[in-house]
Amino acid sequence: MRRTYDLEDRLLQFAADTCRVAEQMPASRTGNHICSQLIRCGTSPSANYAEARGSESRRDFVHKLKLCLKELRESLAWLRLVAVLDLRPPAQLEAVLEEANELISIMVVSVRTAKARGMPRGMPGISNARNIEYRSDS
């Protein structure tokens, strides 16, 4: 697995790696079920992170990061089940399991930081000015 430190690139690579694992699952009821679940949750963090980068508020940003975290944790659970059931050789799972753990750790810190500090500076689609809502009573 190619090491990169750009989170968006890492999430995209993780999605590709989980798809590769899923595509090599045995054509059994268990293999098909895990394959479908792994493709859904393994590809979701990349798309949710892209959505977070375009969020319109701190609350929306934090929510989308939490979705990434939730899907990464689910991916890890399915990958661990693949390992326990010996559906793939351990050598094929080692790197993707390690990356899942690292991405979860990064996302936990990112959520915590976003909650504490607000929006990161320079995020596309996000103003660093205060969000002011104007309400009309009409």
Q: Convert the pLDDT of each residue in 39-88 to its tens digit.
A: 999 999 999 999 999 988 999 999 999 999 999 999 999 999 999 999 99
Q: Is residue 130 part of a domain?
A: no
Angstrom distance (rounded) from CA 14 to CA 45:
9
pLDDT of the residue at 130: 34
Q: What is the CATH number of the domain that holds 72?
A: 1.20.1440.60
Label residue 58 left, alpha or beta by phi (over 0 means left) and psi (-120 to 50 means alpha).
Answer: alpha
Phi and psi (nearest 5°) for 35? -55, -50
**Is 134's pLDDT higher than 50?**
no
**Is 27's pLDDT higher than 50?**
yes
State the total domains in the chain.
1
Q: Is residue 15 part of a domain?
A: yes
Q: Whose structure tokens read 């991916």?
A: 75
Label residue 62 left, alpha or beta by phi (over 0 means left) and psi (-120 to 50 means alpha).
Answer: alpha
88: containing domain: 7-117
Q: Is residue 80 part of a domain?
A: yes
Angstrom distance (rounded) from CA 96 to CA 57:
32
